[in-house]
Structure 1
Amino acid sequence: MFNGSSGDANNSTAHTIQPSYKVEAILNDGMIDGVHRFKVKWEGFSHEQDTWVEEHELEAYPDMLSIYKKAREENTADVSKFYRLLYEADGPPISVVNKVDDVGCPENFTYINNNIYSDEIPRPCTPLFWCECTNGCRSNCECTKVSNYDKYGLLKDPECDRIVECGPLCKCADKCVNRIVQRGSKAELELRRYEHKGWGVVTKRPLPRGAFVAEYLGEVISTDEAERRGKNEVTANLTYLYDLDKECTGAGDISDFCVDAKTHGNISRFFNHSCEPNMQTYAVYTEHRDPRLHRLAIFTNCDIEAGEELTIDYSPGSKNGEGLQVNKCYCGTSKCRKFMFY
């Protein structure tokens, strides 16, 4: 249990639960002003309305409280910092489980919900075309003619080259079926510690093929800066650099920019590698068409069961083991290349 003061201590006024309010989730707990309290998410309200309540105020939710306490007590590491960090995440609350060792939250890591662009990165100014739809794109709309999503928001063609969503000039509503990545992930996820692989991510609910899971976020930097950082990270057998090269199709093409999630990132930073992954990354455009600065959106490439680990291929171009051998691979699949290459 977390026994220190919380970063939300300024908003620590106790909230008396009224019958008309329902607790959706317990997010955190800690000693605030000398009282042990629990941070709760209210059903039907955004995270801005989350509040701290005392334990006796949760007596109507014994099962929820019991599950929360059990999960926190089963951890062999202090994950309270992780919970405080993950509170900043958009979307459903993310739980944390470590029954393996005493490793907690990474040092000097900040959770972000949008990319951070360094000063040397040009901001794109090539706008997308726009539609005049007002309540979501119609069947004859130009946007839906090129849309990669079906009516459920799932990818129609997993082999598509790129995904173009409705842009900021489109008049359709945020709920438009062609605004999947920009609306954010709805996947319910858990950070889980593994013996050999370190932190990984599992889904708490089944995910169908073609579902958006997360965007790979971090600091957007130049390739030169990525090379400088990468030398130190590869030497330490640890790198979080992701080239923005999805639109580089020529043999000699290299990306101009890269996303580094080492110190600033989101849940995707913790996706583990697999030589036979159940997710795939796509180039997505939501505001512009500059192929050098597309977004990195991660979708499922198969149906995934609840409790299954979510994985990507760190080096999809190294099918035969090309590149610098860095770490031993523990994915355990039939197609395992035995090592990860960069």
Structure 2
Amino acid sequence: MKKIRAGVIGASGYAGAELVRLLWMHPEVELAGINSKSYLGQKIADLYPSFYQIIDLPFEEEDSVIAKSDVVFASLPHGLSEPLAKKCDALGKVFIDLGADFRLDNEADYQEWYHLQYQEPQLHKKAVYGLPELFREDIKTASIIGNPGCYPTSIALALAPLMKLDIIHEQHLIIDSKSGTTGSGKGLSDSTHFPRLNESFAPYKIGAHRHTPEIEQTLGKLCGKDVSISFTPHLLPINRGIVSTIYADATDEIHVEELYAQYVKFYANEPFVRVLPLGKTADLKYMKYTNYCDVSLHMDERNQRIILVSAIDNMVKGAGGQAIQNMNIRFGYPETMGLSMVPASF
């Protein structure tokens, strides 16, 4: 079988570079071309020395990368992916967007949270939301796939079985997430400079993070109801990883053992979601460089409050790894192909 030719637009960013690393190791992929406007003509190994004598590809123009590829990944800030998706769609190429442009169903939500309008409304009718464990059948035939955000991935996978069971108050969900700094990209801000970030830990964009409508949209689809969340992200002084702690009030008495059995059943055939044994807690230390999502279940019996903890690597399951998982599904390869990395223990 001929290898898939893959191209990466925006390969100089953190998520783009991680995607290049993972695609290079995929046994059925030929990395056809990579792009970066900022580093056009330079080699990726000059920017990321870890690629030295392994990946020596130069950064090319967008159109050159698209022409040589069967599947095009875009790792760009919001507002830049629609023109690329239009070109790929016209040429019959699969487009997988790691940005935010194809994640939201409702244009009004995109306008409210990203302050932009859709440039190509007809493309959004073709686009599917690429969270494999929940929307696999849609992904199989999609030409445009919106890769989920990193926070929404950690949250939706933790909550999905609970939303299906219809045993919580959907309007009272409280979510605290903590992320490594790669999640904010390469662009510096006051909060990501070393002296400010080092030995620090603080929330940001409290009650106003752009991933809020994406999270509510996904959870609403799972339970068939309107969902309202209070979402607070935090910035950790580490490179990568996300831990989400989620609080849900039960509508009736439930025991954690019963809930655990439901979670194990729900994810029994999902290779990348690990439901940890009761008494264990999901920890980002054991997720680095892998496409796994660990979920642990806990119960505040006194208040009948379910507490969920999930952990992912925001650069892999939260970005490049999930994009490759979507590619595998779309092109009929085993879902785990190129993604069977064992988590490090330290």
Scaled by the length of structure 2, the TM-score of the pair is 0.25
Q: Which has the higher contact order (CA 8 A, sep 6+)?
A: 2
Give the number of the structure whose residues are more often helix, by fraction: 2
Q: TM-score, normalised on structure 1?
A: 0.25
Tell which structure's C-alpha radius of gyration is larger: 1
